[in-house]
Amino acid sequence: MILDRFTMTDQVAIVTGAGRGIGAATAVAVAEAGADVLISARTAEQLDEVVTRIEAVGRRAVAVPADLSDLDAVAGLVDRARDEFGRLDVVVNNVGGAMPRPFLDTSPGRLEQAFHFNVATAHALLRPAVPLMLDRSTKSGGEPGGSVVNISSAMGRVAGRGYLAYGTAKAALAHYTRLAAADLSPHIRVNAIAVGSVATSALDIVMQTDELREALEAGTPLKRIGVPEDIAATIVYLSSLAGSYVTGKILEVDGGINGPNLDMGLPDLA
């Protein structure tokens, strides 16, 4: 059965930024596919709600509240996964982001922060995860090894005013994905998703008015804003046997955009 290739029975996944939005939807999706999940985010109450949803589908969840801008805290998730589950098969680097700013308001410090939160955190988690994932892969008698999915953005490949720090950092994460895939083949696959406009808290300011929402939808070829489950389903594909012949790729899950689908109205510099 082809659907059997989309199962993740008894695998173990780490999902960061899992308190809400794409991270929460992903944690529940991989659990529905059969995995146990270690989830982490800043807010314990949000994580508790996700744990309840995971346990409702019969899988085990471990919540680790943490400030994931702290690289030591990110790396510590691997030790916790080892202690709780004894193995690690899937890593989803979902934590990240940066607020849009005009060019002259984007200081070097803001640029460094964007790289730290979007790229350094991913590496801080993946580096200690690799030995544990390889241990599972090399002991599994030739089964497909581990999978890593990094959450990049459409703004990492298209140009739009205001996204200098965010777009540059997400572009760096996309190329990090390609380079890591080369380093970690053949046992660990590394892919990324270039996410378009998805209805999460990051878009709250847009969703507050019909005018802005309609403009965002009108600028998207599929004429809708994405939902977290659109991304979660792609992560299940990339993390399961269904995606076992895919590595070093950036999947564009963005409604078909080839440019920013909302003009932030930033004026020309004078």
Within a domain: residue 261?
no
Instruction: Provide the pLDDT for residue 142.
Output: 47
Domain hosting residue 15, numbered range: 2-253
Per-residue pLDDT at 263: 81
Instruction: Answer yes or no: is 245 within a domain.
Output: yes
Q: Give CA–CA dist 260/124, Å, rounded.
A: 30
237 is catalytic: no
Residue 267 counted as domain residue: no
Strands lying side by side in the sheet with 90-93 = 61-65, 36-41, 12-16, 90-93, 147-153, 189-195, 250-253
In a domain, 265, yes or no: no
Question: Pick the catalytic residue: 166, 176, 237, 245?
Answer: 166
* Positive/negative CA dihedral, 9, 23, 84, 135: positive
Any domain includes 18: yes
Q: Give me the CATH number covering residue 145.
A: 3.40.50.720
* Structural domains counted in the chain: 1
**Cβ atoms < 10 Å from Cβ of 65:** 17
Per-residue pLDDT at 137: 54
> Which residue's structure tokens are 């992560």?
235
The rounded average pLDDT for each run of 10 residues, N- to C-terminus, in the chain (270 residues) is 96 97 97 98 97 98 97 97 96 92 94 96 97 74 76 95 95 98 97 92 68 88 95 98 97 94 87
To the question of pTM greater than 0.85 for the whole model, the response is: yes
Q: Is residue 120 part of a domain?
A: yes
In a domain, 258, yes or no: no
Q: What whole-number distance in Å separates Cα of residue 240 and Cα of residue 2? A: 12
Per DSSP, 226 falls in state B
pLDDT tens digits for range 157-210: 999 999 999 999 999 999 999 999 999 999 999 999 999 999 877 666 666 678
Quick one: pLDDT at residue 139?
54
